[in-house]
Amino acid sequence: MEIAGSLGAMFEAGDEGFETARQIWNGDIQRRPAVIARCTGTADVLAAVRFARDRELPIAIRGGGHAVAGHAVCDGGLMIDLSTMTGVRVDPLAGTVRAQGGCLWRHVDHESQAFGLAVTGGIVTHTGIGGLTLGGGIGHLMRRFGLTIDNLVSCDLTTADGEFLVASVDEHPDLFWGLQGGGGNFGIVTSFKYRLHPLGPTVLAGLLAWPMAEAGDVLRFFRDFVADAPDEVGIMVNLRLAPALPIFPQELHGRPIVALIVCYAGPMSEGEEVLRPLRQFKAPVLDTVGPKPYVAHQAMFDPAYPHGRHYYWKAWKLPPLTDGAIDVIVEQAAAITSPLSAIPIFTLGGAVARVDDDDTAFTGRSAAHDVNFVASWLPDDPEPERHKAWARAAWEAMRPFAHGVYVNFMSDEPVSHVQVAYGERKYARLAALKSKYDPSNVFRFNQNIPPAS
């Protein structure tokens, strides 16, 4: 098979490179597309969409390939692979960056930080900007600079008809609204343009850890600390067994810990003062907080989430933590079944909460946190179902405290759960938008919003 007008590589079953090209981040997902089109740019993407349309092939879009449910790869359809579209150009005078749709966060951070600039990105640098941005984008800098989508200026987009358009507040504003949180439902973004902010390149950042036995106290202290923390404080919690990584001293490897991960997006001396209570309330077993390149902090979690390992997760957004919610989190941390599983908790608020919920498709800006029950295990682990069952049970136990769900942290929930992510009113608006821009649901391998009709 050949895609007319395409420069990029194409793979079918049996071709050299096919088996590698169909792999995504989550090794638990194994699907076999009929064709993989590795696009070199917008021209290839236009050609690939027209090719699929003519043959009525369903399309899966591979950005960074990190959607835990494996939306980047389908059985039997066309996988449009953007992974080599990683060009980035910073305009330091305008304070913007333009990045191709297959970039990972490490590409954007690398170029932006050369100019001492940054935009809110994900906390693992091998995550794609494509899926992460289109779902909203939460990360270390969000309380200071807002979600990734709050900094989105425009998108170059290939539609389900194989046409090109630009979406921004001035051009196709309805579509632009939908792209700010509505996921990959409306087209293929070949280029994102973001506003940048001065940051670093050195920031005050790092990790503080305590034994898991202290988790209740740490979480209660954390709750009180974030209640009036300034926007500059990016802070998250992680509960797990300390992995055997260089950041942890050997004596901690395999020990259950509760950690606070901080990144101060402001002047270093001010940050020392603001973060001091974290160091004083109870002596940590590990304190790595200090001046650090922002790109190094961004990469801190990278080795803990390698490609090819098996993953399954469930998540909720949460209001400020109550004692009851803390008790559940502590119980579920104690019940973890795999040494590789973890419970990361993000902290929203600040600039995220100051944007009106109706301004973007992203929903639930008043949430204080996002808790994720991440099950992870090695490919040869004999008990995958046990690890998945832990994530499901923890998620159910947390349900009474839930304040919605972040669409990018959903996995195999039914389509009805997508409505939970957006709420009834916004979901209806998104479904109407889908009818306008993708009435045949060509882009359906995602947290799908079927057309209204």
Ligand X SMILES: Cc1cc2nc3c(=O)[nH]c(=O)nc-3n(C[C@H](O)[C@H](O)[C@H](O)COP(=O)(O)OP(=O)(O)OC[C@H]3O[C@@H](n4cnc5c(N)ncnc54)[C@H](O)[C@@H]3O)c2cc1C
Tokens 């682990």 locate to 381
> What is the helix (H) or strand (E) element at residue 292, kind and residue range?
strand 290-293
Token output for 448: 């799908």
Closest CA to 140 of 278, 298, 268: 298
Q: Kindly tell me which residue out of 33, 101, 284, 404 binds ligand X, with binding defined by CB under 6 A.
A: 101
* Residue 77 interacting with ligand X (CB under 6 A): no
Which of these segments, 1-9, 116-124, 161-169, 347-355, binds ligand X (CB under 6 A)?
Answer: 116-124
Pick 139 or 146: Cβ nearer ligand X: 139
Which of these segments, 60-68, 107-115, 316-324, 397-405, binds ligand X (CB under 6 A)?
Answer: 60-68
- The count of other CB atoms within 10 Å of the CB of residue 264 is 24
Residues 289-348 that bind ligand X (CB under 6 A): 305
Pick 284 or 365: Cβ nearer ligand X: 365
Residue 425, amino acid? R
b/e map 177-203, b = 16+ CB within 10 Å: bbbbbbbbbbbbbbbbbbbbbebbbeb
Which of these segments, 125-133, 323-331, 386-394, 412-420, binds ligand X (CB under 6 A)?
Answer: 125-133
* Residue 122 interacting with ligand X (CB under 6 A): yes
Pick 68 or 175: Cβ nearer ligand X: 68
* Residue 33 interacting with ligand X (CB under 6 A): no
Pick 90 or 167: Cβ nearer ligand X: 167
SS3 446: coil
Question: Got the DSSP string for 333-382?
Answer: HHT--STT-EEEEEE--THHHHS-GGGSS---TT--EEEEEEEEE-TT-S
Residues 388-427 that bind ligand X (CB under 6 A): 408
β-strand 152-158 against 188-195: which pairing, if any? antiparallel
* Residue 61 interacting with ligand X (CB under 6 A): yes
Closest CA to 205 of 290, 273, 272: 290
Token output for 373: 């029950």
* Residue 66 interacting with ligand X (CB under 6 A): yes
* Residue 62 interacting with ligand X (CB under 6 A): yes
Residues that bind ligand X (rule: CB under 6 A) add up to a total of 34
Q: Kindly tell me which residue out of 3, 134, 149, 233 binds ligand X, with binding defined by CB under 6 A.
A: 134
Question: Got the DSSP string for 187-225?
Answer: -EEEEEEEE-EE--SEEEEEEEEEEGGGHHHHHHHHHHH
DSSP state of 242: P
State the binding string over 173-192 for ligand X (x if CB under 6 A, else -): ----------xx---xx---
Q: Kindly tell me which residue out of 67, 97, 318, 361 binds ligand X, with binding defined by CB under 6 A.
A: 67
Which of these segments, 135-143, 279-287, 419-427, 429-437, binds ligand X (CB under 6 A)?
Answer: 135-143
Which positions touch ligand X (CB under 6 A)? 25, 61-68, 71-72, 82, 101, 122-124, 127-128, 130-132, 134-135, 137-139, 183-184, 188-189, 305, 408, 445-446
